[in-house]
Structure 1
Amino acid sequence: MSSKPAVLGKDLVENFKKAFFKDEKNILAQNVCTKIDPFELSLSRKQIEETQHVFNTKIDAEGKPLTNQKRSGRCWLFAALNVIRLPIIKHFNLEDFELSQGYLFFWDKIERCNFFLNNIVETARRNEPVDGRLTSFLLYDPTCDGGQWDMIVNLINKYGLMPKKNFPESFSCEMSDRMNQILKSKLREFARAIRELIQKGGSDGDVQSLIEEQMTHVYRIVGICLGIPSESFTWNYYDKNKAFHSVGPITPKEFYDVHIKPLYNIDDKVCLVTDPRATNEYGKVYTVDCLGNVVGGRRCIYNNQPVELLLDVTAKSIKDGEAVWFGCEVGKRNYAKAGILDLKVHNFPLLLGVDIQTSMSKGDRLLYGESAMTHAMVFTAVHVDEKDQVDRLRVENSWGEERGDKGYLLMTAEWFKEFTFEVVVDKKHISKEVLEVFNQEPIVLPAWDPMGTLAC
């Protein structure tokens, strides 16, 4: 027996209206909220006054200059390179330094498009209908800017790194939407051609030849928009003492293997996630169907652990002098102007009569589409109390210096527990039991699972 629909009748709506105007606080809130941003009105003056961007445990030195991804979704790349540059700055005695975000962006675009086309082949071989949920999900966004940690590992291990001076930003690096529109249009067109060829009984060789032809167009589009990195380069620089140095000619892969890997070996870093949904046990490893960026590369692997463990290993890494890449949902309980991530920074019940964003558990927010990882940044400091418990953390963002403490944010430990989803630390900070979880065969989550959301 079907339930009766809850119709909004005239009498019921009239009751809503009477209840609204009966409370004069609603009228005052309406008067100001129709003129001012409701999130600004909900800010807690007391909480802002009590927030200080001061920390008692920091890494030796933070990187300069503060980076800015501008109007692109490359936070995961910026955050990774902001971590990696720190030991380079120290080792080479530099005043400031940036690795080329555009270089990895170029190769990610090329690889990501090829990965998508091969996913189309895979789903066609599985007899997935073009209008089914999986294929429709893939076609909705064939290539985006966002990414995950294991995608970074794939790019660096295959293509290496280079200084930003040797491959600077382009218009489409900083404002990627137009290039992405072009690529998405062609990729959907290419997907149709692939599926039609497979439906006609095309061989694996025929399909591979078609993808190679399609990728020549992708390479040309990306090369026109971003430029094409040189196969080798020479890095000239001055150290803090104004002494001149030169490295090269050298390939980007050699530059990473010879000069960076001894300082920061990306293969020694492990990514831990926290997914408290009842369906996903802690102490298990997960992956997401059709997620990745390099065909034949490393899968995106999620070692699921309690959030308290993620906070603990983050503090251990900071105390050991190494910054931490992490992924979170940056838009919740965020006072962007002051750079404050704090559960108490907004008082929504005072303005609206109801709370939002934290009304459900973290697991339920994931389950009901209210929460997911959206952004990657870097931890550079923590503040511990007299009981050696983490109270707050310092965050290096990649949105320029205009917001927060010259671009740095303050995150409370309670905010970390609610809205942080993954951290990357050196495996030396991880127990043997947790490391052994990586040896499990991953449980495959569907392509649309929130844990597959890409930081951008």
Structure 2
Amino acid sequence: MTSALTPLDQSQLNDLGTAFDQREANRIAMNAVTQAGIDQVAHNYDRSRLVQHRFSVSVDNGKVTSQAHSGRCWLFSSLNVARFVARKALNIDASSPANPMGDFEFSQNYAMYYDKLERVNYFLRDMAALVRAGEPTDSQLMQFLLGDVMGDGGQWIMAMNIYKKYGAVPKQFYPETASSQNTGEMDHQLRRLLHQAVAHMVADPSKIDQIIAETTQAGHRILTIHLGTPPTSFDWEWTDKDGVFHRDGRITPQEFWKKYVDAGLEDYVCLVDDPRREHPKGTKIGIEHLGNVAGGDPTEYLNVPMDFMKDCARRLMAEQGLPVWFGADCHPMMDRKAGQWATDLFEYGRVYDVDFDMDKEERVRFGDSAQNHAMAFVGVDVADDGTTTNRWRVENSWGGDIANKGYFTMSDDWFTEYVYEVAVPKSMLPEEYRKAFDQPALMLPAWDPMGALA
């Protein structure tokens, strides 16, 4: 039987080298890229200088936050939206230099602590059900879940599950730790713990309940050692932008969330752009085995046209003055230092003499693109017709030493190609879309790209 894998032979290698040498531009590109790097060489100067940092609608959310060496962007961005709401409720103005609360933040460490503790329980019980059902350990599902466990990423609905159950606390009451800012080793240890638990379940299914209890206790212990003991209540007092001192007394995180952030964010729904033709627009999509809080809201989205998604984001800022949480594939065509995204910001094809011609559907279908980062829209530039968008202002969570003090500018065409999800109030949806959320979701497998976490 002839092998389908044909090795490269010396004749082919010689032909490849000859073809390379015959094109003078290849040597110029090689000289430039080996010295300066591909992004410096491919950077589109004409496009970059035209990416303006001015917006007809802007939502002031103050100093940007920094997730440091962690994948907590979904928590940072959702808490940045909540921070905006809380500042209004507390009457503290982020833009006032005299404001003593100008750097007000929620504790992202607090949210991560309970997210990871809940995920320990969620994973153990999910895997226990599979083990009891006789799922083979080498199945695609088991191997995917084992490989994907205890990362830092998440979704808007998963964040709301945490805030609804555990509330939120100002950052000073539960600050960052070495492990919250650099989660790699902590995640590795938790992953080892959970892998071991599944191995013990498979070895002796009669002890599954005992294994869950002991592993949950061990997970709690590891998290507390790395992140500290989270507060169950705290004394809340502040001075507002008018110089008036307030004392609210002893308050729990749940009470703080309900009083100063309100339940409005909990009523948001997630809209996605799944470009694959077999998933019609107007269809509710769910992902099997995706979640964090057992008994919490399922992670579901409504697949909608991109223009509708943009219109909701624009209206939420222009009409209600609120930031908008969103998820995107942040890496393509990004100038991190300058804080720019545009579909033609880098001319890689010209440097390599390669035509990169996949559209969004093909990029999703063939593993070239998926959501991997969450941020917040805090501005948009709208043309004189009142509906056409030119560019978008983005509050990132990568600190203030890059971009425009941490704020990025996104071209509208980049939004079309690489934004996948936005969270908006359900009340913004037309009746047909609201009804769609009442229908059973089209369930996609755990490894589907629409289940990628920000």
> TM-score by structure 1 length?
0.94
Return the letter of the residue paired with 1:195. V
Q: For the residues of structure 2 that align with 1:295 and 1:427, how far apart are their CA atoms?
A: 23
1:139 is matched with which residue?
Answer: 146
| Pairing 1:385–2:383 present | yes
Secondary structure of residue in 1 paired with 2:450: helix
| Pairing 1:165–2:164 present | no
Q: For the residues of structure 2 that align with 1:250 and 1:302, how far apart are their CA atoms?
A: 34
What CA deviation, in whole Å up to 9, does each residue of 1:45-69 have, x standing for no partner? 111111110001122xx22331000
1:207 is matched with which residue?
Answer: 208
What CA deviation, in whole Å up to 9, does each residue of 1:154-173 have, x standing for no partner? 11111111111111111111
Q: For the residues of structure 2 that align with 1:382 and 1:24, how far apart are their CA atoms?
A: 44
Gaps of at least 5 residues in structure 1 are none
What CA deviation, in whole Å up to 9, does each residue of 1:377-400 have, x standing for no partner? 000111012333001000000000
| Pairing 1:257–2:291 present | no
In the TM superposition, what are the counterparts of 1:47-446 in structure 2 within 5 Å? Answer: 47-59=47-59, 62-94=60-92, 95=99, 96=102, 97-198=104-205, 202=206, 206-261=207-262, 265-320=264-319, 321-356=321-356, 359-388=357-386, 389-446=388-445
Q: CA deviation at 1:404?
A: 0.9
Q: CA deviation at 1:5?
A: 4.6
What CA deviation, in whole Å up to 9, does each residue of 1:265-315 have, x standing for no partner? 222211101101122221111111111001111110021111121111111
Secondary structure of residue in 2 paired with 1:337: coil
Deviates more, 1:423-432 or 1:67-76: 423-432
> TM-score by structure 2 length?
0.94
Q: For the residues of structure 2 that align with 1:268 and 1:256, how far apart are their CA atoms?
A: 14
Using a 3 Å threshold, how does the CA distance of structure 1 residues 181 and 3 change in structure 2: closer, same or farther? closer
Is contact 1:329–1:374 with CA below 8 Å preserved after alignment? Answer: yes
Return the letter of the residue paired with 2:123. F
Using a 3 Å threshold, how does the CA distance of structure 1 residues 315 and 3 change in structure 2: closer, same or farther? farther
Q: For the residues of structure 1 that align with 2:51 and 2:326, how far apart are their CA atoms?
A: 22
Q: CA deviation at 1:88?
A: 1.6
Using a 3 Å threshold, how does the CA distance of structure 1 residues 270 and 4 change in structure 2: closer, same or farther? closer
What CA deviation, in whole Å up to 9, does each residue of 1:70-129 have, x standing for no partner? 001100000001011112212322142111111111100100111111121122133211
Is contact 1:348–1:355 with CA below 8 Å preserved after alignment? Answer: no
Seq. identity, %:
36
Q: CA deviation at 1:207?
A: 2.8
Q: Structure 1: which 4+ aligned runs deviate by more than 4 Å?
A: 1-7
Q: CA deviation at 1:195?
A: 2.2
Q: For the residues of structure 2 that align with 1:294 and 1:312, how far apart are their CA atoms?
A: 31
Return the letter of the residue paired with 2:68. K
Q: CA RMSD in A?
A: 1.6
Q: CA deviation at 1:217?
A: 0.8
Return the letter of the residue paired with 2:256. F
Q: For the residues of structure 2 that align with 1:125 and 1:304, how far apart are their CA atoms?
A: 34
Q: For the residues of structure 2 that align with 1:241 and 1:364, how far apart are their CA atoms?
A: 54
Q: CA deviation at 1:17?
A: 1.6
Is contact 1:285–1:302 with CA below 8 Å preserved after alignment? Answer: yes
Return the letter of the residue paired with 1:91. A
Is contact 2:90–2:260 with CA below 8 Å preserved after alignment? Answer: no
Q: CA deviation at 1:3?
A: 8.8
Q: For the residues of structure 1 that align with 2:66 and 2:255, how far apart are their CA atoms?
A: 27
Q: CA deviation at 1:7?
A: 4.4
Using a 3 Å threshold, how does the CA distance of structure 1 residues 49 and 193 change in structure 2: closer, same or farther? same
Q: CA deviation at 1:435?
A: 1.5
Is contact 2:51–2:411 with CA below 8 Å preserved after alignment? Answer: no
Number of equivalent positions: 443
Using a 3 Å threshold, how does the CA distance of structure 1 residues 220 and 22 change in structure 2: closer, same or farther? same
2:18 is matched with which residue?
Answer: 18
Secondary structure of residue in 1 paired with 2:379: strand
Secondary structure of residue in 1 paired with 2:316: helix
Secondary structure of residue in 1 paired with 2:327: strand
Q: CA deviation at 1:255?
A: 1.3
Return the letter of the residue paired with 1:239. D
Secondary structure of residue in 2 paired with 1:121: helix
Secondary structure of residue in 1 paired with 2:25: helix
Q: CA deviation at 1:6?
A: 4.8
Using a 3 Å threshold, how does the CA distance of structure 1 residues 252 and 4 change in structure 2: closer, same or farther? closer
Return the letter of the residue paired with 2:230. P
Q: For the residues of structure 2 that align with 1:168 and 1:242, how far apart are their CA atoms?
A: 25
Q: For the residues of structure 2 that align with 1:278 and 1:220, how far apart are their CA atoms?
A: 46
1:27 is matched with which residue?
Answer: 27
Gaps of at least 5 residues in structure 2 are 93-98
Return the letter of the residue paired with 2:226. C
Secondary structure of residue in 1 paired with 2:137: coil
Q: For the residues of structure 2 that align with 1:117 and 1:48, how far apart are their CA atoms?
A: 48
Return the letter of the residue paired with 1:248. G
Is contact 2:122–2:291 with CA below 8 Å preserved after alignment? Answer: yes
Q: For the residues of structure 1 that align with 2:396 and 2:449, how far apart are their CA atoms?
A: 23
Secondary structure of residue in 2 paired with 1:237: strand
Q: For the residues of structure 2 that align with 1:65 and 1:164, how far apart are their CA atoms?
A: 14
Return the letter of the residue paired with 2:135. E
| Pairing 1:45–2:45 present | yes
Deviates more, 1:317-326 or 1:344-353: 344-353
Is contact 1:65–1:98 with CA below 8 Å preserved after alignment? Answer: no
Is contact 1:234–1:248 with CA below 8 Å preserved after alignment? Answer: yes
Q: CA deviation at 1:355?
A: 4.0
Secondary structure of residue in 2 paired with 1:245: strand
Q: For the residues of structure 2 that align with 1:3 and 1:142, how far apart are their CA atoms?
A: 37
